[in-house]
Amino acid sequence: MKTKLTNRSVSALRPHTATYDVRDTEIKGFLVRVRPSGSMTYLLQYRNKDGVQKHFKIGLVGNIKPAPARDMAEIEAGRVAQGIDIQEARKEHRITAQRARHGNFEGFFDNEYLPWIKEHRKSWRDTETRMRTNFGFLFDRHLTEINAWTIDKWRSERIKKGASKETINRHIAALKAMLSKAIEWEIIEHHPLAKVKPLKTDKGAKVRYLTEAEETKLRKALQKRDMKIKSGRDSANRWRQERGYELLRDLKGAHYADHLSPIVLLTLNTGLRRGEVFNLSWDDINLRSKTLTVEGETAKSGNTRHIPLNDEAIELLKNWKAKNKKQERVFPGKNGARLDNITSSWSTLVKDAKINNFRFHDLRHSFASKLVMKGVPLNTVRELLGHADLKTTLRYAHLAPDHKADAVALLNS
């Protein structure tokens, strides 16, 4: 069907059961495509230099009138006559605009990468913290301005401040992963850190775990902290009662003052990762069968695992549930939301316990180390920790009782 595309002719068009085109009689390739839904679109049909037929969208009928649509069609037809593939040119322009809008570190991270990792990465909060804490100095730079020299300089400064090579490698790996996505999404063309290699680390380095003396000090520090918080709450409520203020939650009947003690003790007895502890719901705890379930959706490996609970874990969970059974999460944050940070309280605890160079994650190492030292097979430890590969668990092998001495003793004969 052909007609001059004007206000009158376009407004007279009606949808049919099938899509059809109405071509303009004056401008070659200019047409209106009418769909059964009633949607109508101005298009310019053309062939590129390779003879491939394409359709260039000018706009929707209703959003643009026939006269300006005709003007645009004439302009684009002229560009086609000059050998320009207008469809590809528009695509390149869109990519250029996107690069300009999201090409700087902060814009790309906030608008593109962060929404993506929230959807696809269980540990997205750790990634966000890692990026903002370590690479905030890059946020006002374009992604292409990040280079190996900048990162090597940052790496050297971190080493001087005492950061471990393993930690530094993890930070840079997170940064490189983000830049890889920028390439995949055509924000940048080349990886600026492709030549940056991880720092060499000692694969046989000792695992940090609590000695018996240190564990005793940690437990005493937890008890002292709970007593101090309860005493402070009693004092605060007396003060509020004298003035007619609403009283704070009474902690006299509570076994624990807050979540820190049960979190630390549960981790010591289960080897859970910090994020796994934060994600626990009461549905994951079966006190009758004495098991704790880490769901695959929240596990680092993506696999569900079941951990037997010993007597101390059972007791602390019963005591904690007595005061928190109305909550869905075992360790809820503010207003019942997911708890996501105990950094300040943990730092104060280990300082008060006078334990040096000990991270929260080292509680997991303590759990594994004690099992190995008591003769538990490494593969069993691997299953309890949720390691996908036994190689990761082998870091504890040197703690097995006399395993190397027994091996060498075989040569005595």
244-259 burial: b if 16+ Cβ within 10 Å, else e = eeeeeeebeebebbbb
**Is the backbone of residue 126 left (phi > 0), alpha (psi -120 to 50) or beta?**
alpha
In Å, what is the CA distance from 67 to each residue of 10, 20, 26, 99? 11, 21, 13, 33
* Average pLDDT estimate for 301-330: 89
pLDDT at 134: 93
CB atoms within 10 A of CB 212: 8
3-class SS at 354?
Answer: coil
Dist CA 277 CA 271 (whole Å)? 10
pLDDT at 337: 86
User: Would you say the pTM of this structure is higher than 0.85?
Assistant: no
Contact yes or no for 201/163 (Cβ under 8 A):
no
Helices 362-373 and 378-385 pack at an angle, to 10 degrees, of: 150
* Average pLDDT estimate for 167-180: 93
DSSP state of 12: T
Of residues 317 and 399, more confidently modeled: 317
Per the structure block, which two tokens stand in for 410?
Answer: 């075989």
pLDDT at 403: 55
> Which positions ≥6 away from 167 have C-beta within 8 Å?
none
Helices 212-242 and 260-270 pack at an angle, to 10 degrees, of: 160
Dist CA 31 CA 72 (whole Å)? 12
Dist CA 37 CA 54 (whole Å)? 23
Mind listing the pLDDT tens digit for each residue in 95-121? 655 555 556 888 889 888 999 998 888
Mode of pairing for the β-strands spanning 285-286 and 53-60? unpaired
H or E element, residue 27: none
Report how far apart the first and last C-alpha atoms of the chain are (Å, whole number): 100
Mind listing the pLDDT tens digit for each residue in 228-249? 999 999 999 999 999 999 998 8
- Sign of the torsion formed by the C-alpha atoms of 237, 241, 247 and 249: positive
Per the structure block, which two tokens stand in for 168?
Answer: 């530094």
